[in-house]
Amino acid sequence: MSKEARLVVVSNRVGPLSDEGKAGGLAVGLADALRRRGGLWFGWSGETSEAGTDSQAKTETEGEVKLVTIDMTEDQVAGFYLGYANRSLWPLLHYRLDLARFERETDRTYRAVNREFARRLMEFVSEDDLVWVHDYHFFYLGEELRRLGFKGRLGFFLHIPFSPPEMLAALPGANDLVGAMLAYDLVGFQTMTDRRNFANYCKHELHGQKQPNDRVRVGDRVIEAKVFPIGIDAESFAEFAASEEAEEHAAMLRSNVGRSLPIVGVDRLDYSKGIIERLLGFERLLENYPERVGTVQFLQVAPLSRSEVEEYVDLRGEFEGLVGRINGRFAALDWTPVHIMTTGLTRRALAGIYRAARVCMVTPLRDGMNLVAKEFVAAQDEADPGVLILSRFAGARSELGEALIVNPFATDEMAAALERALTMPLEERQRRWRAMRDKVFANTAAEWCRKFIEALEDAGREDGDRPAD
């Protein structure tokens, strides 16, 4: 196969290709890759219509990239996106079995929507294309494409964690789901832990074997399962941080906090992000280090997300209640400890906020990678870099070990890490930051994409192990 094979990307949300949009991990990584290589990006239009996945495809062309989208019906969105993807798979893959809901109907709709997307995609692909499917919305899509006769290269990348087999086994139909992943030639994960969990599931639940060269065998199928930690477009993000819009936002943050040191958190309002635990850590800082009262301010930017899903509505209530409690407990006439924003910000504005922050808290309870951690690093100014506090449960932890690593469940440890960050000497801040900067600028989104595509082109090469017809 020629290196020039066209790239076809499939993901639930498509675009934007421009970096001016609101922050979003997958979109940012892929837009960068597609712009460099050119190709087709296929997914959901974000709209509902009566025809749903039978709707006329909408096509937009931006430079060398074609965006093709189809609608879903309201029932398809309810079962596929709100139901199975976000009430079954999302919590389960983030190790939250307690929040996972399993319903036969949403499982059916999820599989049917995967089938429909595969059927519609067949109108646009040829066997010479490299098809790269993304994320937990489309576990079955590769298998459906194979059923429809697609014989080209098929890759899959999971942006979120892959939970251990003992937990994943709780999903009704888990064997079907993991079995469907075997239709791909290459499956990619963010971390070694995720890859190991997948290989262990194949071994223990599907009677497979782990083989050399990152291969996994189940029955006659041999596929490659590799680790590709996603990166950001670090150069552009650093440029954003030096832009006028960024400077305006940095100035607003500084004037808002006055004499206090700004601590920030930026996350979609999602229970996996550990926002509640982070606020409890900040509250504990004010309790354990009373001299901090009146001298620090915590800003949480938390754009609302998946608001139709019950668990997210509950989280919002808990979040606002906790902020109210902390402010009610500690505020003075001239000082408010916690400031929150639930509207989204442009990436330039965010870059400015990161640059003005003294500390950034990235404390998910479980996270595939977490690109906020990398963006925070890219946005810093060498003369006076801020400190990153990073959860040991974020995928980014394996690369960014020079951050202050915390267990987000350990409230006193979080408070102590905050105190350490606030008092860290400039020289130590610079040393830690430089080490992280080098990695963030080396393993970029473009690199991530290049490595995945190269591995997909080579998958199964040595022994000609190609997918069964």
Q: Any idea which residues carry the catalytic annotation?
A: 159, 367
The candidate with the shortest Cα–Cα distance to 363, out of 314, 403, 323, is: 403
Sheet arrangement for strand 221-227: 58-62, 65-72, 39-48, 7-13, 130-134, 153-157, 186-189, 221-227, 215-218, 209-211
Specify which residues 48 forms β-bridges with.
72
Nearer to ligand F6P, 303 or 460 (CB): 303
**Does 180 contact ligand F6P by CB under 6 A?**
no
Footprint (CB under 6 A) of ligand F6P, residues 287-316: 305-306
Smallest separation, CB 24 to ligand F6P (Å): 4
Footprint (CB under 6 A) of ligand F6P, residues 353-392: 368
According to CB under 6 A, which one of 13, 111, 284, 347 is a site residue for ligand F6P?
Answer: 13
The candidate with the shortest Cα–Cα distance to 371, out of 226, 192, 160, is: 160
Footprint (CB under 6 A) of ligand F6P, residues 14-33: 24-26
Smallest separation, CB 173 to ligand F6P (Å): 21
The candidate with the shortest Cα–Cα distance to 255, out of 346, 353, 360, 162, is: 353
Smallest separation, CB 353 to ligand F6P (Å): 18
What ranges in 69-163 are assigned the alpha helix state H? 74-76, 90-93, 104-121, 141-147
Lookup result for tokens 């990235």: 362
Instruction: Give just the sign of the alpha carbon dihedral 287, 292, 295, 300.
Output: negative
**Does 79 contact ligand F6P by CB under 6 A?**
no
d(CA 356, CA 350): 10
Nearer to ligand F6P, 297 or 363 (CB): 363
Site string for ligand F6P, 217-256 (x = CB under 6 A): ----------------------------------------
Nearer to ligand F6P, 257 or 309 (CB): 309
d(CA 45, CA 53): 10
**Does 135 contact ligand F6P by CB under 6 A?**
yes
Smallest separation, CB 242 to ligand F6P (Å): 25
d(CA 469, CA 9): 22
Binding residue count for ligand F6P, defined by CB under 6 A:
10
DSSP state of 12: E
Smallest separation, CB 395 to ligand F6P (Å): 11
Footprint (CB under 6 A) of ligand F6P, residues 147-176: 159-160
For ligand F6P, the binding residues (CB under 6 A) are 13, 24-26, 135, 159-160, 305-306, 368
